[in-house]
Amino acid sequence: MTSHADVAHLARRAGFGLAANDVDALGAEGYEAAVEVVVEGLKRPDPPAESVVPPVFDTARILADLQSADEAVRDAAQKALSTQQRELVRWWLNRMVVATEPWHEKLTFLWHDHFSTSLEKVRYPELMWMQHSTLHDLGHGRFDELVHALSRDGAMLIWLDGHQNRAGAPNENFARELLELFTLGHTPPGGHDSHAMAPYGEADVAGAARALTGWQVDRTTGQGVFRPQRHDPGVKTVLGVTGRLGLDDVVAAATGHEACAAHVVSRLWSRVGRPATPDDPVVVELAAPFRRDLDISAMLRRMFLHPAFLEPETRQALVKTPVEWVVGALRALRHHLPERTERLLVALGQVPFAPPDVSGWPANRAWLSTASAQMRLAAAVVLTAEADLASLDVAPSERLAAVGRLLGVDAWSPGTERALDRHRDDPRRLLTLALISPENLVA
């Protein structure tokens, strides 16, 4: 018999959570069938999400106007750029909120964190929108194809200085992060690798940087373009592969390396399962088939069906990020995106398209400081201010259970129940406090 709690857990980790009725619908044919709905949903179009219209980009005009001798023209271009940046953030948040099957937007957001890229340096929202499209369209397919596309992505080339990488003056930034963060895992100072198989060394970074020379951003399309005259055609060695290597060869060597599967699986399992290192037994087990096929959808299916995914330790292991928390609340409340949403997320410390650095956002306990608790309360007041409370129009004695069904919380702890029960006569206050309860902060 399928447990309602199991399906609710799946909905939180694969998406942004579901109300009790939606959990029942997802699990109607059993837990394994629910997993199939999630995984296959990654391949289907989502009309409500696709109906959210992206900003109108005029990057070419802005680029030209920013070079104008007229200060007023430059100021207007900068203002237009800032407006488009804000509109892009709202566009993605709206997609997350209205998606019928939110699994696709959640996975795209997880990859955005893994391949962390920020508007702060990239500046041009059209390039970030194009990168989002790559993550969205390829993020459920083969990992090597995803890495290959991002290695020549315009936003990534700017973010990690790949567009400055040329023969005779190699820039190692992208090569280093490609190996260290995106594919193989971190090598601590001193050269003692965190993986038993010693994934890479400084010579590999240098060789990869030379092999990746020649890529720039086309100013008319925003896409990466290869300039042969800037490429180093010499012989290089990367991860044991020697030859006149280029981008294709580096991506193949990195994604085909035995350390890649364990690193990538540990990163994804740490976001949908529980925090883990590449040598964690569950990661080792899940990495073996992923190493053979690099199939992301198949990897997620194995994660959600693994016994460890439903263990009590896993259910309590993750804390919702601010984006997950806000989007989950808006979806539960069937609420439009408030005008202040971006400012709320700035205050909470997480805004889409603006990770703090190349390693992405912090996780779990980093979001549980006293300051963040105060900000969540202020945000919860905003989120519930115009919420439709029709589902809470029940007898006060039944209201706490109704809030739980609305937020997808299966059970309240005795302490939370006592705290919330004091406000059962005030539905809006009750809902506000339920949003910041420990039970609703666990992902």
Computed over every residue of the chain, the mean pLDDT equals 94
Q: What is the per-residue pLDDT across 137-157, written as a single tens digit (0 to 9) for each?
A: 999 999 999 999 999 999 999
Nearest to 237 by CA among 197, 204, 267: 204
Q: Is the pLDDT of residue 312 over 90?
A: yes
Residues 251 and 262 in one domain: no
Structure-block tokens of residue 340: 């202040």
Residues 302 and 382 in one domain: no
Residues 342 and 428 in one domain: yes
Q: Is residue 120 part of a domain?
A: no
pTM for this one? 0.94
Compute the distance between CA of residue 45 and CA of residue 331 in angstroms, rounded to an integer: 19
- What's the pLDDT score for residue 272? 98
Residue 245 · residue 215 · CB < 8 Å: no
160's CB contacts (< 8 A; 6+ apart) are 173, 174, 177, 358
443 confidence band (pLDDT: 50, 70, 90): confident
Nearest to 39 by CA among 16, 10, 18: 10
Residues 263 and 249 in one domain: no
Domain boundary residue among 268, 299, 315? Answer: 315
Q: What is the per-residue pLDDT across 3-32, written as a single tens digit (0 to 9) for each?
A: 899 999 999 999 999 988 999 999 999 999
Residue 97 · residue 327 · CB < 8 Å: yes
Q: What is the per-residue pLDDT across 172-213, written as a single tens digit (0 to 9) for each?
A: 999 999 999 999 997 443 344 444 455 899 999 999 999 999
Q: Is residue 18 part of a domain?
A: yes
Amino acid at 368: L
Q: Is residue 84 part of a domain?
A: no
Higher pLDDT, 90 or 65: 90
Residue 122 · residue 84 · CB < 8 Å: no
Residues 263 and 252 in one domain: no
Q: Is residue 406 part of a domain?
A: yes
Residues 238 and 291 in one domain: no
Nearest to 38 by CA among 78, 6, 72: 6
Nearest to 6 by CA among 283, 312, 272: 312
Nearest to 215 by CA among 259, 256, 175, 247: 247
What DSSP assignment string belongs to 123-170?
--HHHHHHHHHHHHHHTTSBHHHHHHHHHT-HHHHHHTTGGG-BTTB-
Q: Is residue 366 part of a domain?
A: yes
Residues 204 and 306 in one domain: no
Q: Is residue 150 part of a domain?
A: no
Q: What is the per-residue pLDDT across 218-272, written as a single tens digit (0 to 9) for each?
A: 988 999 999 999 999 999 999 999 999 999 999 999 999 999 999 999 999 999 9
426's CB contacts (< 8 A; 6+ apart) are none
Q: Is the pLDDT of residue 1 over 70?
A: no
Compute the distance between CA of residue 303 and CA of residue 237 in angstroms, rounded to an integer: 35
- What's the pLDDT score for residue 191? 41
Residues 429 and 374 in one domain: yes
Q: What is the per-residue pLDDT across 328-347, written as a single tens digit (0 to 9) for each?
A: 999 999 878 888 899 999 99
Domain boundary residue among 224, 240, 256? Answer: 256
Residues 223 and 270 in one domain: no
Residues 245 and 333 in one domain: no
What is the total count of domains within the chain?
4
Q: What is the per-residue pLDDT across 79-126, written as a single tens digit (0 to 9) for each?
A: 999 999 999 999 999 999 999 999 999 999 999 999 999 999 999 999
Residue 34 · residue 7 · CB < 8 Å: yes
Residues 355 and 402 in one domain: yes
342's CB contacts (< 8 A; 6+ apart) are 86, 89, 90, 93, 351
Q: Is residue 97 part of a domain?
A: no
- What's the pLDDT score for residue 194? 46
**Domain range for residue 403?**
322-441
Residue 143 · residue 107 · CB < 8 Å: no
- What's the pLDDT score for residue 190? 39
DSSP state of 183: I
Q: Is residue 299 part of a domain?
A: yes
Q: Which residue has the tokens 């400012």?
A: 343
Orientation of helix 370-385 relative to helix 427-435, angle to 10°: 140
Residues 195 and 252 in one domain: yes
